[in-house]
Amino acid sequence: MNKVIEEQEKAITEKDSSTEEKILEAGRKLFTERGYAGTRTRDIAEEAGINLALLNYYFRSKENLFKIIMLEKVELFFGELIRMLKEDTTIDKKAEKIINLYFDMLSSNPDLPLFIFSETRYNENHSAVRDKMQTIVNDKDLQSLLKQMNPNVNPYHIIINFIGCIVFPYISKAIFDNTTVVKESSFDKLMETQKKIVPHILNAILSINEENAK
Amino acid sequence: MNKVIEEQEKAITEKDSSTEEKILEAGRKLFTERGYAGTRTRDIAEEAGINLALLNYYFRSKENLFKIIMLEKVELFFGELIRMLKEDTTIDKKAEKIINLYFDMLSSNPDLPLFIFSETRYNENHSAVRDKMQTIVNDKDLQSLLKQMNPNVNPYHIIINFIGCIVFPYISKAIFDNTTVVKESSFDKLMETQKKIVPHILNAILSINEENAK
DNA sequence: GTAAAAATTAAACAATTGATTAAAATAATT
DNA sequence: AATTATTTTAATCAATTGTTTAATTTTTAC
């Protein structure tokens, strides 16, 4: 292995195991699991295996650390979606790609949807996040795409039901775990089937005509 | 008005405006809006317009007050559903009744779903609630009903997608409010349309055959 | 190798939080 | 009307929480 690559890898390793990254990683885990109010800075420090004071040394405050992580998570949740919607393919291909992408992302970030929705409901300070999400949904291209998909229903219903059947299984995961309906099969396997069901649901919404929707 | 009725009404009014009920009402509002960790006992006292010590006088502790309210909310969220599922009518009639019931209930309790799902995800102490919900889903009658509706898919998918498209609009409400897709129409009006869309989604899931689901 | 800079630590701070106390006010009982 | 029980209050407690400080250790730069 040549020396340049060796140094690059060392740099990456160092960055991953740096205290700054350790705090970020602990923050990601605890904030998404327990929310802002349910997480203590001491819990983060302990989870990260660092001294409490280092949190403020690197991130100034709990709220600042939270904001950084929240923006990261919002980008993770919406970023790729926006990029894919702008791609120039058929609606079916686009939908398939988004579905695959989301279920993959959610399988490694199962707490993400509940984190985003619960932390933005009662927001004193993190309204910047909600603003970003609104910018995304207000996108003109997305609007016209949805209108084109089915002019009979408000685009809202297409978005909400499409995202809903992808995201809701993860939101309700804690409740349905250890339930016979989930125990039989594993959650991951259920999501493989859900992947195939979502297009059927999308088609159902797209084939709604005026009489049915009004 | 006769004297008995007069006294009954007085009793009801007294109970409604009693400090105990004032604390409960304030607790309901703040806990559902901000969650357990995000709510201070002082906020509850202020919201109720009572002295802080009265909270502990009547309810012993913050956690005890929370548990009472949580059980109330779980009953509100699942109770009627169970009762309706046991009714002896056609599946279509049953579905229609449940849809109407839920949208009505949610329009006056918009924070309810997010409260229940976010408070039961990371639960150190309130696991009793999750147990109750598991009992509900594990119900034998419900299982066989769902198997009968469509033997090709795991009952999980019927439950999750049916409940999801009723509940998810409320979970994501805060994010989509002030968005062009919602602004055009009012949220209540969108829910009137959503009411009519849900049966189409349910039909789509029920008409899935083996090849599609596997 | 040494001085300067950066990172880490233990200890403590001030504010907040859930809870309690003891006294005062109100209501109920006789 | 007097006594007792109940409710309400202001003050305080002890523990927790986010943050800071000042000293120490480690790393970097020359």
Q: Which residues contact B52 (CB under 8 A, 6 or more apart)?
A: B41, B42, B45
Task: Mark which residues 92-111 of A lie under 8 Å from B by CB.
Answer: 111
**Phi and psi dihedrals of B156, rounded to 5?**
-50, -45
- What is the model's pLDDT at position A211? 62
CA distance B134 to A57: 45
pLDDT digits (tens, 9 = 90+) for A128-151: 667 777 777 788 888 888 888 899
DSSP B76: I
Cα B179 to Cα B173, B183, B184: the distances in Å are 10, 6, 9
Confidence of residue A111 (pLDDT cuts 50, 70, 90): very high
CA distance B121 to B133: 13
- What is the model's pLDDT at position B14? 55
- What is the model's pLDDT at position A137? 76
Neighboring chain A residues of B111 at a CB cutoff of 8 Å: 121
- What is the model's pLDDT at position B3? 37
pLDDT digits (tens, 9 = 90+) for A3-24: 343 444 444 455 567 999 999 9
DSSP B51: -
pLDDT digits (tens, 9 = 90+) for A55-109: 999 999 999 999 999 999 998 998 888 788 778 888 889 899 999 999 999 999 9
- For chain B, which residues score pLDDT lower than 70? 1-16, 124-129, 210-214
User: What tokens does A79 get?
Assistant: 């970023």
The percent of residues above 90 in pLDDT, for chain A, comes to 60
The pLDDT of A41-52, averaged and rounded, is: 97
Neighboring chain B residues of A62 at a CB cutoff of 8 Å: none
Length of chain B: 214
Q: What is the least distance, in Å, from the CA of B5 to any CA of chain A?
A: 42
CA distance B210 to A202: 19
Is some CB atom of chain B closer than 8 A to the CB atom of A117?
A: yes
- What is the model's pLDDT at position B92? 86
pLDDT digits (tens, 9 = 90+) for B156-178: 999 999 999 999 999 999 888 87
Looking at the predicted structure, is the pLDDT value of residue A213 above 80?
A: no
CA distance B45 to B210: 56
**Phi and psi dihedrals of A11, rounded to 5?**
-60, -45
- What is the model's pLDDT at position B147? 87
Helices assigned H by DSSP within chain A: 3-17, 19-34, 41-48, 52-59, 62-74, 80-85, 91-108, 112-121, 127-137, 140-149, 155-171, 173-176, 180-183, 187-206, 210-213
Determine whether the interchain pair B200/A197 forms a contact, defined as Cβ–Cβ distance below 8 Å.
no
Q: Taking CA A71 as the corner, what is the angle to CA A67 and CA A75, rounded to the nearest 5 degrees?
A: 170
Whole-model pTM: value is 0.90
Amino acid letter, residue A1: M
Residue A130 and residue B175 in contact, taking contact as beta carbons nearer than 8 Å: yes
Q: Which of A158, A82, A150, A70 is nearest to A116 (CA)?
A: A70
SS3 for B123-156 is CCCCHHHHHHHHHHHCCHHHHHHHHHHCCCCCHH
Helices assigned H by DSSP within B17-90: 19-34, 41-48, 52-59, 62-74, 80-85
- What is the model's pLDDT at position B127? 66
- What is the model's pLDDT at position A14? 55
The pLDDT of A33-54, averaged and rounded, is: 97
- What is the model's pLDDT at position A214? 52
Q: Which residues contact A24 (CB under 8 A, 6 or more apart)?
A: A65, A68, A69
- Which one of A77, A170, A175, A208 makes the best mutation probe of the B interface by having the most chain B beta carbons within 10 Å? A175
Determine whether the interchain pair A156/B205 forms a contact, defined as Cβ–Cβ distance below 8 Å.
no
- What is the model's pLDDT at position A64? 96
- CA A211, chain centre distance (Å): 35
